[in-house]
Structure 1
């Protein structure tokens, strides 16, 4: 066990807050104003970790701590899923079609933006591709007409049998696994997973069928551009970014596995 100097703890906590403030502060301002952002609010609304919890820094706890023993089943569950995911090759042929399957034959849309190609052409694109979604928390939002088109049947209780490391939603869920281990693990790892999930969510929506004209990629302020996965160029761009995220996610997943094993003793 490493004993930290109080001044070092204070400095690391301040650095942690400063690192995450550019993401948290705009969200809190939007929430206060009653304004919703379909992309940048996702990590704060879909995932069950409050902004204040995210900003709070913890050095982690030693193995054998009573809090660890009380949460042993959760740690074992997270460890099983992460190890199973890491053991598989990534599927780089999904092209983000899960978002398209969520609006197939549906009216109105899930988000307050029009479809970039219109309803009929969006359905045609979905129907002309092979859909192989391995992530249950994406698959469960498929419309009834699209669910039967998925070549896989992931369920809520068999995630270790399906999860694979190229999945965007699986990459975002590294953040969920990290905060579920908090404060038993160092918050720096939670922040790493959060920033990865933030960037993945942007690709997830850029490759979705929505027309995001007028939205910006805050906190950078970049203008939004679509990744047109219905074209060869768009597919190539999607796969290139997907590979980059898989590479970024691998050491985070490995670190979470190591932390689970440390806590479990």
Structure 2
């Protein structure tokens, strides 16, 4: 077990907080104003993360922070005599299932052969045959009119292998996909050439 004096860990925590808050200042500003933003909405709503959570520095397992009373309010930490450390037993009790799922999916994807032939058609399949105003972000104009977009999807076809992309296909688009990804079969289909599999690294 490594023990860090406050003089050692506090500057690291503060530097992390300052860097994240500077990087996400526009995100927080838009949120406070109630402004929509397609990337912000995706990163902090779809993945259900908060900028304040990302700004919190964590030492990791096996590190004891000395003189750290502020960690008493942090979930999944154990505090005694103002010394804080990750409560690994509690973490595994509460998050063990998620950890096992993440390991299973990531290990399977890393071992799979990458495929790069989907050409991003999953994005168009999510708006296939929708009319203006029916998309997830109706305030954004699509690059093609609906009929032209549909023709592109039909000509190129869909080869989506990731369930969390496929489940957002419009109903008319789902039969156009060569595969029928399911949550149960995710480990068998996820592969490292998939954009969505790589985006999930952010989640895990």
- TM-score relative to the length of structure 1: 0.63
Say whether residues 1:135 and 2:162 are aligned partners.
yes
Q: Which structure's residues are more often helix, by fraction? A: 1
1:12-33 superposed Cα distances (whole Å, 9 cap, x missing partner): 2122223322442211111111
Q: CA deviation at 1:39?
A: 1.8
CA distance in 2, matches of 1:102, 1:69: 36
Match for residue 17 of structure 1? 17
1:195-245 superposed Cα distances (whole Å, 9 cap, x missing partner): xxxxxxxxxxxxxxxxxxxxxxxxxxxxxxxxxxxxxxxxxxxxxxxxxxx
Aligned CA distance change for structure 1 residues 97 and 22 (closer, same or farther; 3 Å): farther
Match for residue 94 of structure 1? 118
How many residues get paired?
177
CA distance in 2, matches of 1:69, 1:126: 44
- Matched-pair contact (CA < 8 Å) for 1:163–1:170: yes
What secondary structure does 2:197 align onto? helix
Say whether residues 1:110 and 2:136 are aligned partners.
yes
Q: Which of 68, 82, 99 pairs up with 1:75?
A: 99
- Matched-pair contact (CA < 8 Å) for 1:101–1:126: yes
Match for residue 48 of structure 1? 48
- TM-score relative to the length of structure 2: 0.80
Q: CA deviation at 1:130?
A: 2.8
Match for residue 77 of structure 2? none
Say whether residues 1:65 and 2:82 are aligned partners.
no
Q: CA deviation at 1:72?
A: 2.4
Q: CA deviation at 1:138?
A: 0.9
1:117-139 superposed Cα distances (whole Å, 9 cap, x missing partner): 21111111111113111111111
CA distance in 2, matches of 1:155, 1:163: 11
Q: CA deviation at 1:4?
A: 2.4
Q: CA deviation at 1:64?
A: 8.1
CA distance in 2, matches of 1:49, 1:39: 13
Match for residue 223 of structure 1? none
Unaligned runs of 5+ in 1: 178-265
Match for residue 172 of structure 1? 199
CA distance in 1, matches of 2:120, 2:127: 13
Structure (1 or 2) with the larger CA radius of gyration = 2
Find runs of 4+ consecutive structure 1 residues off by over 6 angstroms: none
- Matched-pair contact (CA < 8 Å) for 2:21–2:51: no
- Matched-pair contact (CA < 8 Å) for 1:27–1:41: no
CA distance in 2, matches of 1:55, 1:144: 39
